[in-house]
Chain A
Amino acid sequence: MRLLMTASQIRRLPVVTVRGGEDVAEVRDVIYSPESGRLVGVTLNKRGFFAGRRRDVLPVQAIHAVGQHAVMVLDDSSLVASEDAPDDVGHPATERNVLGDDVLTEGGSSLGKVADLVLLVGGSGEVVGYQIDKAGGGQGYIPLPAQLSVSGDALVVPNITEEFVQDDLVGLGASVDEFRARLGLT
């Protein structure tokens, strides 16, 4: 059983220091690398409503943990100016965006379109699945293998993904390990 959350649930979470207990920022958006299936960092807003964007970013290496109620960092120094951050965090390529991509199996069936990312709670931001708008209507969740081919238009997933389409995050959390085992990934 794994505890999962979507990228939308991470937006607006406070960024809190472990050593200081202070809310130093909040998550504006997640920056994701579809090729590696991992979060590379998050962009930040100042705390409070209408407080505006912060110029610094949080690379994934500096994230202590992503939880249900906060993104934890050790201290203030975890936030870095975007010009000093690794390129994929400081200057993310816009074509990286997979939202709206068609999800196709290797056999050529469309499962739906990517609506959101699903991340593992507690770690440092491993993306383990996608929320999709199903081809037949309604929402579903699919697990992700570690590697997959992706372009700005579509992403290709193994055929067995079709058997693992879940109705909710709890179902996805229960099936991620089995899915990966079937693909020989664990």
Chain B
Amino acid sequence: MSESFKESAGRKVLSRSTAKEIGAVGHILVDAHQRRIAAVVIGRGKKAQLVDWAQLSGFGPDAVMVVDDGVLRPPADDRERAAAEGKLELVGKRALSERGNELGELDDVTFDADSGVLEELVIGDRRVPAGSLLGSGSYAAVLDQSEDPSP
């Protein structure tokens, strides 16, 4: 089933083992090279914690289920810390072609809720296949030159 970053922002996160609510989806950290979700950031700010995609038992329409409370962990490196602070949030990020031209702003990203594989990037009224994503960081999401309309 197809899901989107925008629709899933703020969705509640529950533990499968205790059925207790742990928090809400804050940000989503992607692995731009594999074009899939690497981890979900739960909460925002200093107390934000991460859950690796593999530790989810389901990314459902009503709740995100993690296998156990114990799998929540603090950010482990600079990139994860930046993600916890929201600096890597793809929605709202500047889209830049690898030729150095701005293509607009990323309005949303869709993904497969079963696999975490990214499907499409929404830029204004354009929908771009996620396969064109070459890299993403705090400054921009960089897209393949085939998405650049300039001469």
Q: Which residues of A contact B (CB under 8 A)?
A: 1-3, 13-14, 16-23, 64-72, 121-122
Give, as a whole number of angstroms, the nearest-CB distance from B33 to chain A.
7
Number of A-B pairs, beta carbon distance below 8 Å? 80
Q: A69-B96, A122-B150 are in contact. Are A21 and B139 (CB under 8 A)?
A: yes
Q: Evaluate contact between A65 and B102: CB separation under 8 angstroms.
A: no
- Which residues does chain A contribute within 8 Å of B150, judged by CB atoms? 3, 68, 121-122
Cβ-based interface call for B34 (8 A): no
Give, as a whole number of angstroms, the nearest-CB distance from A126 to chain B.
14
Q: A19-B33, A122-B150 are in contact. Are A69 and B137 (CB under 8 A)?
A: no
Point out the residue from A13, A22, A72, A121 that lies within 8 Å of B98, measured CB to CB.
A72
Closest chain B residue, CB of each to CB of A24: B139
Point out the residue from B32, B139, B151 that lies within 8 Å of A16, measured CB to CB.
B139
Q: A68-B102, A71-B100 are in contact. Are A22 and B138 (CB under 8 A)?
A: yes
- Which residues does chain B contribute within 8 Å of A14, judged by CB atoms? 139
Point out the residue from B102, B138, B145 that lies within 8 Å of A69, measured CB to CB.
B102
Q: Give 12 new A-B contacts, CB below 8 A, not counting A3-B151, A23-B139.
A: A14-B139, A18-B135, A21-B135, A21-B136, A21-B137, A22-B138, A23-B140, A67-B100, A68-B100, A69-B100, A70-B140, A122-B150
Cβ-based interface call for B97 (8 A): yes
Q: A2-B151, A21-B32 are in contact. Are A122 and B134 (CB under 8 A)?
A: no
- Which residues does chain B contribute within 8 Å of A72, judged by CB atoms? 96, 98-100, 142
